[in-house]
A = this chain, B = another copy of it.
Amino acid sequence: MDFTVKQIAEYINGEVVGDENEVVNQFYKIEEGKPKGISFLANPKYENYLYKTESTAVVINKSFEPKSTPRTTLIKVEDAYSAFSTLLKLYESVSNQKVMGIAPSAVVSSKAKIGQNTSIGANSVIGDNVEIADGVTIAANVIIENSVKIGANTQIHANTVIYANTEIGANCVIKSGAIVGSSGFGFAPNAEGVYDSIPQIGNVVIKDNVSIGSNTCIDRGTMGATYIGEGAKIDNLVQIAHNVTIGDHTVIAAQTGVAGSTKIGKHCVVGGQVGFVGHIEVADYTKIAAKTGVNATIVEKNTSVGGNPAFHIKDYLRSSVFFRQLPVFEKRISALEKDKNKIK
């Protein structure tokens, strides 16, 4: 879609410096700008791109004073980052306009309750006693098993599976291939070392504003719930085992795994490929470096840890530096030993 610089400036309350009749139709990072593109510059560190970019227009802060005159048309606003973000959100909402209604090939139980302004994609299967609130989007090939509840305006992407009795809040996003509510890894060995499965009769409870990444797995509780707190953001390929609790507004990066019954606090930031053993607790506001192995409860709030097993990040980084020097340590110790023998 083509827009004039003038139209855009009006939408974000900006002042045009240059030709307001120029036309733009695509977003670019300023360093990758192309003609008919629009970019933004918020960080003065990147000022040099302002003179090199091929973008037709650039959104900048009013307060910013360019050292020389750029070729591109400028749109000056209070806060360039936020104004550009407004444009992106507009673009996103326009391009995601969904088809309302239930696809002819979807299989929806007559016992399901479906809200207003919902969309159910091709070949999706909605079980008995499912409750889907207003504004929910369910993409194609999604399985929603019996008695699942989904809150308003939540989006369920293609090819996900939501097992029976899962409760999902409002404004959530469940990305493609995610598996929510499957039976956990509960097996008890008998005397011969043969494993018998332990019944897994709990469910998964996901609160509002949660994001679940592609191909992420969240197992249901053995009894009771596996719980994902409000506003939590979970990346792709993450494993959340039975009866885990993830606190509100905690962020977990890709390929991390949390073993059974562990409770992670609120506002934690967890890097990628981290592992948590089962049955521990992690305090609120903990930061955990990528690849860390957390094998014990973290009591103190607002600390940072790294390493396997995890300890304080600063100590871990220091030890990591010395790890590289181990061959030197060996030489130094050998030299001391030699010297000692000489003295004797």
| Interfacial residues, chain A to chain B (CB-CB below 8 A) | 27-29, 32, 85, 88-89, 91-92, 95, 103, 105, 107, 121-123, 125, 139-141, 143, 145, 157-161, 163-164, 173, 175-177, 179, 182-183, 185, 187, 193-195, 197-201, 211, 213-215, 217, 219, 223-224, 231, 233, 235-237, 239, 241, 249, 251, 253-255, 257, 259, 267, 272-273, 275, 277, 290-291, 293, 295, 307-309, 311, 315, 318-320, 322-327, 329-330, 332-333, 336-337, 339-340, 343
Partner pick for A194 among B231, B254, B255, B291, CB 8 A cutoff: B231
Contacts of A324 in B (CB 8 A): 311, 315, 319
B107 touches A103 (CB 8 A): yes
- Report the Cα distance A158→B103, complex, angstroms: 20
Q: How far is the CA of A295 from the CA of B321 in the complex (A)?
A: 14
Task: Supply 4 further A-B pairs (C-beta < 8 A) apart from A161-B177, A235-B239, A336-B337.
Answer: A217-B237, A255-B257, A309-B320, A329-B330
Sample 10 A-B pairs with CB under 8 A, ordered by A number: A27-B201, A88-B201, A161-B177, A176-B182, A177-B177, A182-B236, A195-B251, A215-B237, A253-B259, A322-B326
Is B91 a contact partner of A199 (Cβ separation < 8 A)? Answer: yes
Copies in the complex: 3
Shortest CB distance A100–B (Å): 16
Separation of A236 and B103 alpha carbons in the complex (Å): 31
B224 touches A239 (CB 8 A): no
| Contact with A201, one of B95, B236, B320, B332 (Cβ below 8 angstroms) | B95
B290 with A275: CB separation less than 8 A: yes
Contact present for B254 and A241 (CB under 8 Å): yes
Measured between beta carbons, the chain B residues less than 8 angstroms from A253 are: 185, 259
B29 touches A223 (CB 8 A): yes
A161 to B343, CA, bound (A): 73
Cβ-defined contact, A337 with B332, below 8 A:
yes
A275 neighbours in B (Cβ, 8 Å): 255, 272-273, 290-291
Q: Who on chain B is nearest to A241 by CB?
A: B254
